[in-house]
């Protein structure tokens, strides 16, 4: 038997254990006493240390790139950030990162943890299951995402959500995981089909009871759908009644949960903001952001998640697949799928299923991101991965490229995937920047993403909690 004593409480527990067991046997007592020097030595052994040496640091706290730095990791934390010249840590593992760039691990704030492979046409042999939620979460690390926020994944039991939430907190092979569990919609509305496993409350009382059930599973927020989908160019669908929408937001706030809303139309977005919504999970796509909208967002301290990947895929899937294939510099994604859906026939089948996003709405979606940022509204990068055509991992990287296409600087795009999400999740004391004392969640690149945001795909190493994953 091994007794681990990491602090004074641990030693107290061991002492109680010895007092209980030693009177009962003459054999165990001496053996246990003999182990105490070993335990003392273990107690005095320094935590494991790693030095990431000669690396350029992009710390995301507003400073220029810091070249030739040494980042000391102790356990799962950043212990020091110093100039590499003259820095020495005897006994530490040293990883030479000359010519590499280190920045905080990335966050996708709108992800359904599905692969996005549910496209028209026969399945591709050998592809992983669409809804292998744990496997899909794990794969996000390989794309540089050390944190994922799930905005509902279909057909996943709430107990499975809670188990995954717990596992991701300690397993270095999984990104940190936060989410809403299940979304709220209305029968016949967007995501209102039984297979989607959303809550479909028909009254304010039912809505409040559903929120309480979600809260008991440990979710981080709720998400409700308040849209008729007219912005997509498709026929409108039913929308949740306003009194149900307000009850959901009120009950979430009573339980100290944030309320995020799918409301890409300006009218519905303003309605949910007047009800106290804490964020929108899509860029507004049917009108320019006006002063009233900005005032409501700032009053609520609300966040603005972008999902340009979704809108771009829906606009022209063949062009989208060409861009994804070019972004996937390491060949991690579904090469057959990239190629198949660049054909005219496959693109036609896709748009027959998903519709074609109106060009003017795509223009609004892009320009509104810049407008929101200029108004000092927190902008969060989110891809809506899992929707057909919005492929796992590569679409999350592409979201940052699309943000730069929309007029953001590379630094602003990176902030939307690092420090801004950390603040939105109330995790900025732990994540989002490279600073002493914070979690050692890093993305290490072969080229500077501030020079060209597409360099975000040139991944050398990913660290989560001080452990490398590659």
pLDDT greater than 90 at residue 47: no
pLDDT at 79: 97
pLDDT category of residue 36 using cuts at 50, 70 and 90: very low
pLDDT at 152: 86
Residues 329 and 456: beta-carbon distance below 8 Å: no
Spatial distance between the Cα atoms of 107 and 443, rounded to a whole number of angstroms: 11
Please write the tens of the pLDDT for every residue from 378-437. Answer: 999 999 999 999 999 999 999 999 999 999 999 999 999 999 999 999 999 999 999 999
The domains of the chain are located at: 8-44, 49-104+436-469, 106-424
Please write the tens of the pLDDT for every residue from 154-213. Answer: 666 788 888 999 999 889 999 999 999 999 999 888 876 766 778 999 999 999 999 999
Listed range (246-260, 272-286, 331-345, 392-406) with the worst mean pLDDT: 331-345
Q: Which region, left, alpha or beta, applies to residue 357 given φ > 0 means left and ψ of -120 to 50 means alpha? A: beta
pLDDT at 48: 85
pLDDT category of residue 126 using cuts at 50, 70 and 90: low
Helical ranges in 328-434 per DSSP H: 335-340, 344-354, 359-374, 394-405, 410-416, 419-424
Q: Which position has the token pair 């641990």?
A: 10
Spatial distance between the Cα atoms of 14 and 4, rounded to a whole number of angstroms: 8
If we measure between CA atoms, which residue out of 325, 336, 337 comes closest to residue 119?
A: 337
CATH of 49-104+436-469, one of 3.20.20.450, 2.30.40.10, 3.30.565.10, 3.40.50.10800: 2.30.40.10
pLDDT greater than 50 at residue 104: yes
pLDDT at 236: 82
pLDDT at 1: 33
pLDDT category of residue 335 using cuts at 50, 70 and 90: confident
Q: Which region, left, alpha or beta, applies to residue 121 given φ > 0 means left and ψ of -120 to 50 means alpha? A: left
Listed range (120-129, 174-183, 232-241, 414-423) with the worst mean pLDDT: 120-129
Please tell me the pTM assigned to this model: 0.88
Tally the residues of the chain: 470
Q: What percent of the chain has pLDDT over 70?
A: 85
More confident residue, 336 or 317: 317
Q: Could you tell me whether strands 93-96 and 101-104 are parallel, antiparallel, or unpaired per DSSP bridges? A: unpaired
pLDDT at 155: 62
pLDDT category of residue 347 using cuts at 50, 70 and 90: very high
pLDDT at 120: 74
Residues 214 and 222: beta-carbon distance below 8 Å: yes
If we measure between CA atoms, which residue out of 274, 282, 271, 326 comes closest to residue 304?
A: 282
pLDDT category of residue 271 using cuts at 50, 70 and 90: very high
Q: What is the CATH number of domain 106-424?
A: 3.20.20.140
The full DSSP string for 162-177 is HHHHHHHHH-TTS-EE
DSSP letter for 204, please.
Answer: H
Listed range (64-73, 121-130, 203-212, 328-337) with the worst mean pLDDT: 121-130
pLDDT at 44: 42
């Amino acid at each position: 038997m091994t007794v681990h004593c990491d602090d004074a409480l641990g030693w107290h527990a061991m002492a109680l254990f010895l007092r209980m067991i030693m009177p009962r046997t003459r054999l165990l007592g001496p053996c246990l006493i003999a182990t105490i020097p070993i335990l003392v030595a273990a107690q005095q052994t320094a935590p494991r240390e790693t030095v990431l040496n000669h690396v350029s640091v992009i710390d995301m706290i507003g400073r220029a790139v810091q070249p030739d730095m040494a980042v000391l990791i102790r356990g799962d934390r950043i212990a020091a950030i110093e100039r590499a010249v003259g820095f020495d840590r005897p006994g530490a593992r040293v990883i030479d990162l000359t010519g590499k760039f280190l920045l905080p691990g990335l966050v996708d704030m709108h992800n359904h943890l599905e692969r996005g492979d549910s496209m028209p046409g026969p399945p591709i042999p050998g592809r992983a299951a669409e809804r292998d939620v744990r496997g899909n979460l794990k794969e996000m690390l390989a794309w540089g995402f050390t944190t994922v926020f799930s905005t509902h994944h279909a057909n996943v039991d709430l107990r499975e959500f809670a188990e995954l939430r717990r596992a991701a907190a300690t397993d270095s092979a999984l990104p940190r995981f936060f989410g809403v569990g299940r979304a709220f919609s209305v029968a016949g509305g967007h995501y209102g089909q039984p297979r989607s496993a959303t809550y479909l409350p028909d009254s304010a009382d039912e809505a409040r009871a559903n929120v309480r059930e979600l809260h008991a599973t440990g979710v981080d927020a709720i998400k409700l759908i308040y849209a008729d989908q007219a912005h997509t160019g498709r026929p409108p669908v039913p929308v949740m009644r306003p009194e149900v929408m307000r009850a959901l937001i009120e009950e979430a706030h009573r339980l100290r949960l944030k309320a995020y809303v799918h409301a890409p139309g300006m009218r519905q977005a303003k309605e949910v903001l007047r009800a106290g919504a804490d964020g929108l999970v899509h860029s507004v796509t049917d009108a320019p952001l006006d002063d009233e909208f900005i005032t409501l967002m700032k009053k609520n301290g609300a966040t603005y998640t972008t999902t340009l990947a979704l809108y771009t895929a829906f606009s022209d899937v063949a062009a989208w697949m060409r861009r994804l294939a070019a972004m996937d510099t390491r060949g991690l994604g579904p090469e057959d799928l990239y190629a198949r859906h660049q054909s005219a026939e496959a693109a036609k089948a896709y748009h027959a299923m998903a519709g074609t996003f109106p060009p003017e709405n795509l223009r609004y979606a892009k320009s509104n991101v810049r407008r929101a940022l200029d108004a000092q509204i927190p902008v969060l990068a989110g891809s809506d991965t899992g929707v057909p055509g919005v492929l796992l991992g590569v679409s999350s990287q592409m979201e940052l490229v699309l943000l730069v296409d929309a007029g953001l600087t590379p630094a602003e795009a990176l902030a939307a995937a690092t420090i801004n999400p950390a603040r939105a999740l109330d995790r900025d004391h732990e994540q989002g920047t490279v600073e002493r004392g914070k979690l050692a969640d890093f993305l290490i690149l072969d080229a500077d993403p501030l020079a060209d945001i597409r360099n975000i795909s040139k991944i050398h190493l990913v660290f989560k909690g001080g452990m490398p994953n590659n």
